[in-house]
Amino acid sequence: MLYKRFGFLLFICLLPLFSSVCLAEEKSQKTIFLIDKKGKELKIGTVEFIKKTKGETFKLSLDESKFENFFLNMAPFKCIVGKLMYCHLPYPYKTRKTITKNDLIDLEYELLFVQKNAAKYGIDFWNGVYFRLKRNPDGSFTGKVWETDLNELVAPPPNEYDRPIGGDDLSEASSGKHRFPKIEIR
């Protein structure tokens, strides 16, 4: 009788230990492709997703071999070279690095670029490239290029996790004007 009483109590006390084993984090990794005007894909990195109770956290890793280092406007940049260069602009402030079904902005902020004519000196943040993403039923993501003035990022947002770029700051881009009018994460 004593065993039954304490056995049940022991089971309840140990349940949290076993549930963490039973409820292992669900991880997945997807590859990031920039798609040029002719539909040719350029693999630029990967994203690891970890499912959480509310959404997914992520870690983005760029493939360094696809980028060259440049020192532009007194700052280092990693750029994809060509007549029109795409220079990655790491978002300089904190994000939660979390996405949900209806909110992909933190991931979009990790994929900011500045398009630059290779013949011109320096970089103009006015030529900001923003990929607005959507999640597909199969779990992949697609996005098309939007234009934005990334000079907005010069000053930090008033609150730690505010999002200074979005909505009215984005202009739909003419796909013919951009080297990579689309992005896919699959």
What's the pLDDT at 25?
Answer: 77
What's the pLDDT at 24?
Answer: 61
Residue 35 CA to residue 47 CA, distance in Å, equals 17
What's the pLDDT at 9?
Answer: 43
Query: What are the structure tokens assigned to 35, written together?
Result: 């798609």
Enumerate the β-bridge partners of residue 59. 48
Which residue do the tokens 């022991």 mark? 10
What's the pLDDT at 1?
Answer: 52
Instruction: Give the N- to C-terminal CA distance of the chain in Å, as an integer.
Output: 57
Residue 81 CA to residue 115 CA, distance in Å, equals 10
Query: What are the structure tokens assigned to 70, written together?
Result: 């440049």
Apex 180 CA angle, 177 and 186, nearest 5: 150
What's the pLDDT at 20?
Answer: 45
What's the pLDDT at 73?
Answer: 87
What's the pLDDT at 142?
Answer: 98
Residue 29 CA to residue 140 CA, distance in Å, equals 10
Q: Are 152 and 88 in contact (CB under 8 A)?
A: no
Per-residue pLDDT reduced to its tens digit, 32-45? 999 999 999 999 99
Q: How does 8-38 read in b/e, with b if 16+ C-beta sit within 10 Å?
A: eeeeeeeeeeeeeeeeeeeeeebebbbbeee
All residue ranges of the chain with pLDDT < 50 are 2-3, 5-22
